[in-house]
């Protein structure tokens, strides 16, 4: 059997989780560092309403800019994200099923769950879980969320995040992300090599520090104003923009120590306000998703 192409991997995961009753949605469309920042995760894990969702999230980490030269690391990559809320007792079996769907016969591999916990202090979030090893290679992150926006979660959701590039490199037996077959003819490198190069130049060398500092300030002001208005969603968009702007400043080496701590405090404050405004509205609407489990 021929190894799956990159786009087939995304398709198979999407189909599999659709069969498990997940809503299939699309990427958010703003720069985020991980699928967790997509509102389909950030907001929906809060509160009592059940939620099952799967989506692809293009993710950006300016600090990982390597000009496309490092075979394993990119400033722009993909995550395949699954949220199951509440976490069903058989969730690990479900996950194993998804590997089978990718053509990985689990009986032929050493599959292990190795402790790996997750924490994002700037959005007041943490969870406990594992990284999943397939013959020693980390192919997914697995987290039982405990807090988001500084609030205890109830019920507890599970987040499963696949690294589709890792999985593709494993299945296709290639040693450089650029060699991943996206479809039968076109490689990942054909599509993204130039993007890696130019965005690395920007992130690490050329992004204008002063302008980014100004932008950060403007986004912050906007976010605060929107919270005043009660518009938690517009505030959240501006929080995401702050976060990405900060990450670029960080990659440029332009963030001092106390500045970093200050920034995290600002973002934590905003995300707590945003979360509680969201929850207030859900309550006012009488939790419309309560009756739509799966």
Partner 1 sequence: MADFLLEIGTEELPARHCQSILRQLSSSQIDQLSQKHNLTFDKLEIFVTPRRIAIISNQVKQSQSKLTKKGPLYDVAFTNGKPNQIAQKFASSNGIKVDNIAIKEENGRKFLFIEQDIAGNLSQNIRDFTKDTIERLHFDRAMRWTENTPPFSRPIRWFVCINGKDIMKFELYGLKSSNITYGNRFQKSPEIKISKAEEYLNLLEKNFVIVDHRKRRKIIEDSLSALSKHELEKAPDPDDALLNEVVFLVENPVPILCEFEKQLLSLPGEVINSVLSKHQRYFSLIDSKKSKTSNKFLVIANFDKDSPTVRKGNERVILARLRDAVFFSEQDQKHSLKDFIQKTKTIAFQEKLGSMFEKAQRIKTIGVKLAEKMKGADVKKVSEAAKICKADLASSMVMEFTSLEGIMGRIYFKEKAIEEHYKPRYSGDSLPEGPTGTILSLADRIDSIYGLFSIGKKPERNSDPYGLRREAIGIVRILWEKEIPITIDYLISAAEKAHKNKANQEEVSAFIKSRLDQYLEESEKYSIDYNLLKSVINNSDPLLSNKKKLLEEVVKESDSGDLKQLLESLKRIYNIAVKNRSHTTCTIKSSSLNESEKALFESVSKLAKLQDKRKTLHDLFQYTDLINKFFDENMVMSENTDERNRRLEILNQAHSAFEKYFNMEFLLS
Residue ranges binding partner 1 (CB under 8 A):
66, 69-73, 86-87, 89, 92-93, 96, 106-115, 117, 127-128, 130, 134-137, 144, 146, 154-156, 170, 173, 175, 253, 255-258, 260-261
Minimal distance, residue 253 CB to partner 1, in Å: 5
Q: Where are the alpha helices (DSSP H) in the chain?
A: 6-19, 39-42, 91-101, 164-172, 188-200, 209-228, 232-251, 257-284
Q: Which residue lies nearer to partner 1 by CB, 112 or 194?
A: 112
Among 80, 79, 89, 100, residue whose Cα is nearest residue 22: 80
DSSP 38: S
Q: Which residue lies nearer to partner 1 by CB, 27 or 86?
A: 86
SS3 139: strand
Minimal distance, residue 89 CB to partner 1, in Å: 6
Cβ contact 113:144 at 8 Å: no
Minimal distance, residue 121 CB to partner 1, in Å: 12
Minimal distance, residue 141 CB to partner 1, in Å: 14
Minimal distance, residue 258 CB to partner 1, in Å: 6
DSSP 152: E
Minimal distance, residue 133 CB to partner 1, in Å: 9
Q: Which residue lies nearer to partner 1 by CB, 191 or 261?
A: 261
Q: Which residue lies nearer to partner 1 by CB, 117 or 183?
A: 117
Q: How far apart are CA 78 and CA 58, in angstroms?
A: 4
Q: Which residue lies nearer to partner 1 by CB, 108 or 284?
A: 108
Q: What is the DSSP string of 4-29?
A: PPHHHHHHHHHHHHHHTTPEE----S
Minimal distance, residue 94 CB to partner 1, in Å: 12
Among 68, 225, 236, residue whose Cα is nearest residue 148: 236
Q: Which residue lies nearer to partner 1 by CB, 15 or 63?
A: 63
Neighbour tally for 155: CB within 10 Å = 13
DSSP 88: P
Structure tokens at 74: 């990119």
Minimal distance, residue 70 CB to partner 1, in Å: 5
Q: How far apart are CA 48 and CA 53, in angstroms?
A: 15
Q: Which residue lies nearer to partner 1 by CB, 183 or 262?
A: 262
Q: Which helix (H) or strand (E) holds 81?
A: strand 76-85
Cβ contact 118:127 at 8 Å: yes
Q: Which residue lies nearer to partner 1 by CB, 41 or 226?
A: 41
SS3 163: coil
């Amino acid at each position: 059997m021929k190894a799956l192409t990159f786009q087939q991997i995304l398709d198979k995961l999407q189909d599999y989780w659709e069969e498990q009753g997940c809503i299939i949605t699309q990427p958010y469309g703003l720069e985020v560092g991980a699928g967790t920042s997509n509102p389909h995760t950030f907001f929906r894990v809060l509160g009592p309403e059940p939620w099952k969702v799967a989506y692809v999230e293009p993710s950006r980490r300016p600090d990982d800019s390597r000009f496309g030269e490092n075979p394993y690391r990119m400033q722009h990559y993909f995550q395949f994200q699954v949220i199951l809320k509440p976490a069903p007792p058989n969730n690990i079996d479900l996950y194993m099923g998804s590997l089978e769907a990718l053509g990985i016969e689990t009986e032929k591999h050493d599959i292990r769950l190795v402790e790996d916990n997750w924490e994002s202090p700037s959005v007041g979030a943490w969870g406990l879980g594992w990284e999943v090893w397939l013959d020693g290679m980390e192919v997914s992150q697995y987290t039982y969320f405990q807090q988001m926006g500084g609030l205890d979660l109830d019920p507890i959701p599970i987040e499963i995040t696949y690294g589709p590039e890792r999985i593709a490199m494993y299945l296709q037996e290639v040693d450089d992300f650029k060699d991943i077959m996206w479809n039968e003819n076109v490689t990942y490198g054909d599509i993204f090599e130039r993007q890696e190069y130019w965005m690395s130049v920007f992130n690490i060398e050329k992004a204008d520090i002063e302008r980014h500092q100004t932008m950060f300030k403007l986004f912050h002001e906007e976010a605060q104003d929107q919270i005043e208005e009660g518009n938690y969603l517009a505030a959240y968009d501006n929080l995401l923009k702050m976060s990405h702007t900060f990450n670029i400043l960080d990659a440029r080496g332009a963030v001092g120590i106390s500045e970093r701590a200050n920034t995290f405090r600002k973002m934590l404050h905003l995300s707590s306000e945003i979360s509680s405004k969201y929850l207030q509205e859900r309550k006012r609407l009488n939790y419309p998703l309560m009756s739509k489990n799966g």
